[in-house]
Amino acid sequence: MNTQPLKIAIAGLGTVGGGTVHLLHDQAALLAQRAGRPLTMVGVAALEKPVDLPLGGVPFFTDARVMARDADYDVLVELIGGAGGIALDIVKTALGRGRSVVTANKAMIAHHGGELARLAEANNAVIGFEASVGGGIPIIKSLREGLAGNRVTQVMGILNGTCNYILTTMREQGRDFSDVLAEAQALGYAEADPSFDIDGIDTAHKLAILASLAFAMPLDIAAVAAEGIRHVSALDIRYADELGYRIKLLGVARLTDDGVESRVYPAMVPLSFPLAHVGGVFNAVVTEGDFVGRTVLEGRGAGARPTASAVVSDLMDLARGRATPTFGVPVAQLAARPAAPSGAHHSAYYIRLMVRDEPGVFADIAAALRDERVSMEQIIQRGRAPNEIVPVVMTVHETDEASMLRAVARIAALAAVAEPPRIIRIETL
């Protein structure tokens, strides 16, 4: 067994980079015992050297490209972030030198994972990216290794802590989206420009990675349809509670008869659902395998310590000499699968209408649903006064999305409907 130190170069000393340095320093003896060899930092790179990190005499670089090109290391830990730019440059440099890479960069993996996997294979290197999805939740290893004996048919999860915090706080405190978003920004849970999170882009990156691992297919971020949570109102959340649901932003990848469905959307989930009670900044992932059945993993989805834990788990694999193809099988064996048409999605739906209370309105709404073969399940209406605008909430039985959208378009055109209808999918397992 190799007892020489695993030489580690770390690029990026922000939240996750700092957490990784602390973990490697504070747990050095434990890690060496479990890995059978020391894990030693031989270089760190950042624009400025932090004074609060236990770096000792570790060589410091202000240019990560220079470190990736010239330093003597076994593995480069990339924690700079971003789909391209310097992060992609240094990863390519390291892999080109036959050095392995560990990264938390979901955007880079989602957009360039196939290219990087081929480069790693060509140079006998390994890419570890456990930290790219779910923070401290070991979902990458679960799909790539723990569930390797299964044909996975579905992966579904809460993959963005910012959105989950916003939706949880809206429900618990009865507050509006914009108010809670501002608080999340003040607390550091949301960025100054929150669109990456609240529009579902971050979740889409993570879902593309999970779908590739689950179904042994090439990464295809363009195939992931993303819908965020901007339109979810406090009113919708109150009605969800009354109906026995929670609203969660889900990333869902599943095999269907029409192809692979990969979508990000807010959904109502029943209280019995495994994800219904995952609150705050926590993440959770549910998988379905043909032999194991259902598995559920839950934990902190971001932050210095949980994400550093995931980074170091990949380093431990490398220290022990454990190597797995980037996406579970060699790149050449990844098989493309057709994407399911969006209109083929099949589920029940919640619909909220703001309508003028006048005779004949319900008959017109019912006719629009009837003509598209959409069956109502239940209706809630409160506040009856002639010509007053009142909310009408209904749920409908399972139907295909194309029919649902046609019916909603007809309803939206009714003169008595004062606002665009809001629809939210109802998701069950």
Residue carrying the six token digits 């409908």:
396
How many Cα atoms occupy the beta-carbon half-sphere of 243 within 13 Å?
A: 26
Give bridge partners of residue 128 from the DSSP assignment.
Answer: 102
d(CA 391, CA 421): 10
Specify whether the CB–CB gap between 154 and 254 falls below 8 A: yes
| Long-range CB contacts for residues 299-302, cutoff 8 Å, separation at least 24 | 299/134, 299/135, 299/136, 299/137, 300/135, 300/136, 300/137, 300/161, 301/134, 301/135, 301/136, 301/137, 301/158, 301/159, 301/160, 301/161, 301/164, 302/135, 302/161
Strand order in the sheet with 6-11: 60-61, 39-45, 6-11, 75-78, 100-103, 127-128
The catalytic residue among 7, 92, 106, 206 is 206
CB count in 10 Å sphere of residue 174: 11
For the CA atoms of 289, 295, 298, 301, the dihedral, rounded to the nearest 10 degrees, stands at: -10
Specify whether the CB–CB gap between 373 and 334 falls below 8 A: no
Q: ∠ CA 356-357-360 to the nearest 5 degrees? A: 100
Tokens representing 422 are: 């809001």
Per the annotation, the verdict on 206 as an active-site residue is yes
Specify whether the CB–CB gap between 237 and 391 falls below 8 A: no
Output the CA–CA distances (angstroms, integers) from residue 203 to 86, 110, 158, 295, 403, in the order listed.
Answer: 23, 11, 8, 20, 27
Q: Which residues are catalytic?
A: 206
